Amino acid sequence: MRTFRFFVSLVLMILVLNFSNLAYTDTYSNTIEVFKKSPVVQTFFKNAYGYAVFPSVGKGGIGIGGAYGKGQVYRGGKVTGTAKLFKATIGFQLGGQVFSDISSQSISWLHYH
């Protein structure tokens, strides 16, 4: 029981430390600018019909984990809606992380959701 409490306390401390110092990309426009600076992603912006931007996605776990983030959907450079990212994982894992994400979906997904 003592070991379990130690690991729970450790994970909570890691998560608090990670979330208390969020990455530089804390706004949607900053996140897009950071991604546009990468030569690898420039073709993504040129060819994408639309995309979703998640400035801060938090994930963490001990054996069983999850991730969550809120984002905005863009089409033609303009905001057309909002999106949420959920993820669940099972396996060897311990810790937490905060990251930014950008993704594209099919035209029908961006049009109807």
Q: In the chain, where are the structural domains located?
A: 2-112
Tens-digit pLDDT profile for residues 52-99: 999 988 888 888 888 888 899 988 888 988 888 888 888 888 888 888
pTM for the model: 0.64
State the CB neighbour count (10 A cutoff) for residue 12.
Answer: 13
> Tokens for 61?
């776990």
Pick the range with the lowest mean pLDDT from 20-24, 29-33, 79-83, 91-95: 20-24
Distance CA 80, CA 53 (A): 12
